[in-house]
């Protein structure tokens, strides 16, 4: 991957930093905290781990991984990759333990800090335990990202990227576009194009190369999505496409598009963790910002417009950890990643991710 012109090497990021003080020789040292407990999810079982592990290991820490119980083999393979790369045994190690063991692991004095990627409920539990034991933590939690389409946007392109963002991984992504907030003047055209793209998605066996979307991971996730959809329809939302259960083995759910949505509806108020796109119409930029910020989450967001500076101005008003103007939300090692409010706190990746798990030590030395 090409290095950004402004990127700093790990040596520069972690090297001593001179600081002016009342001593002729004072500086800041960045030292590893020790062993980090990483609690990682199942939906992206490799990338999520590497996104957490790479900065922490670069800072000199060790990691014990508590992976989701349904992807334990993925954790074993990651452990093997690190060993094959020459890492000493124990620097990165998988702990195949149940969820009930997490609180005890956080409390263990050998664990210096904890990083969790998971649900907001899991974040509250881990954060509470970490706080009680005075352990540093980074929490990357759920999201209900707003995908704002302004009246001057390229509707075709916005619908194409919006569908890709919403329906990838069967919609099971914290940074998926979930709440589509569209200017009234172009909302009809956008909804038509989004429906066409949703209907074109080929459901099937994930092992078949012709398949564009497989089943959802669990029965309870599908049932929760159906509950949110039904409750929102009862409040006035319109099912424009999909939403059914295909007659085949597995927890399949037809990619759904709901129009006529309002901020108080479950599909806007709650996180929808599955292939359901909720569309609301707004009358102007101020209303778009207000609707976007009405969610308790604050992970990512998108603004689509042909006036980039207009998009940047709106992006600055959104209460999120990141905003992508005319682009799909994604994580890039060269950019910090994380959220605010019920989407958690702390950052992964970039130099900020490296500095999350270091002791920022002041060194004051006499002449």
Catalytic residues: 140, 174
- Please count the CA atoms within 13 angstroms of the CA of 122 that sit on its side-chain side: 18
Q: What are phi and psi of 136, to 5 degrees?
A: -65, 140
- What are the CA-CA distances from residue 132 to residues 104, 125, 135 (Å)? 12, 11, 8
Rounded CA gap, 18 and 5, in Å?
23
Answer for the pair 240, 259: CB distance below 8 angstroms, yes or no: yes
> What long-range pairs does 108-111 form, CB within 8 A, spacing at least 24?
110/34, 110/35, 111/34, 111/35, 111/36, 111/37, 111/64, 111/135
In order, the DSSP letters of 145-194 are: EEEEE-TTS-HHHHHHHHHHHHHGGGG--TTSEEEEEEEHHHHHHHHHHH
Q: What is the three-class DSSP state of 277?
A: strand
Structure tokens at 335: 């950019």
> Which are the contacts of 299, defined by CB distance < 8 A and separation ≥ 6?
141, 142, 143, 144, 145, 174, 175, 320, 321, 322, 338, 339, 343, 344
- The closest of 252, 243, 299 to 276, measured between CA atoms, is 243
Strands 276-282 and 256-259: parallel
Rounded CA gap, 167 and 149, in Å?
18
Rounded CA gap, 115 and 88, in Å?
22
- The closest of 276, 280, 278 to 254, measured between CA atoms, is 276
């Amino acid at each position: 991957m090409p290095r950004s012109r402004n990127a700093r090497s790990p040596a520069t990021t972690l090297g001593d930093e001179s600081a002016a003080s009342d001593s002729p020789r004072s500086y800041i040292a960045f030292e590893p905290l020790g062993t980090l407990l990483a609690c990682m999810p199942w939906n992206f079982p490799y990338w999520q781990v590497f996104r957490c592990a790479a900065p922490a290991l670069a800072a000199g820490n060790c990691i014990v991984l508590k992976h989701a119980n349904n992807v334990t083999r993925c954790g074993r393979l990651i452990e093997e990759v690190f060993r094959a790369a020459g890492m000493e045994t124990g620097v990165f190690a998988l702990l195949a333990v149940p969820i009930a063991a997490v609180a005890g692991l956080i409390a263990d004095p050998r664990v210096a800090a904890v990083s969790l990627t998971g649900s907001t409920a899991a974040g509250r539990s881990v954060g509470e335990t970490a706080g009680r034991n005075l352990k540093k933590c980074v929490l990357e939690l759920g999201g209900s990202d707003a995908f704002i389409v302004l009246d001057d946007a390229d509707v075709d392109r916005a619908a194409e990227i919006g569908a890709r963002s919403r329906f990838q991984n069967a919609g099971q992504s914290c940074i998926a576009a979930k709440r589509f907030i569209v200017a009234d003047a172009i909302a009809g055209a956008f909804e038509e194009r989004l429906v066409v793209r949703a209907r074109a998605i080929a459901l099937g066996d994930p092992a078949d190369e012709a398949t564009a979307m497989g089943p959802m991971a669990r029965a309870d996730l599908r049932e929760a999505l159906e509950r949110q959809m039904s409750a929102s329809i009862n409040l006035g939302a319109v099912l424009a496409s999909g939403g059914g259960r295909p007659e085949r083995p597995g927890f399949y759910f037809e990619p759904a598009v709901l129009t006529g949505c309002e901020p108080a509806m479950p599909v806007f108020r709650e996180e929808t963790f599955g292939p359901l796109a909720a569309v609301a119409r707004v009358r102007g930029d101020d209303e778009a910002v207000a609707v976007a910020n009405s969610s308790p989450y604050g992970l990512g967001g998108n603004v689509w417009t042909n006036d980039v500076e207009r998009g940047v101005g709106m992006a600055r008003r959104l209460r999120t950890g990141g905003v992508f103007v005319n682009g799909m939300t994604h994580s890039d090692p060269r950019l910090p990643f994380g959220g605010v409010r019920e989407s958690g706190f702390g950052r992964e990746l970039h130099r900020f991710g490296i500095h999350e798990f270091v002791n920022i030590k002041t060194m004051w030395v006499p002449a």
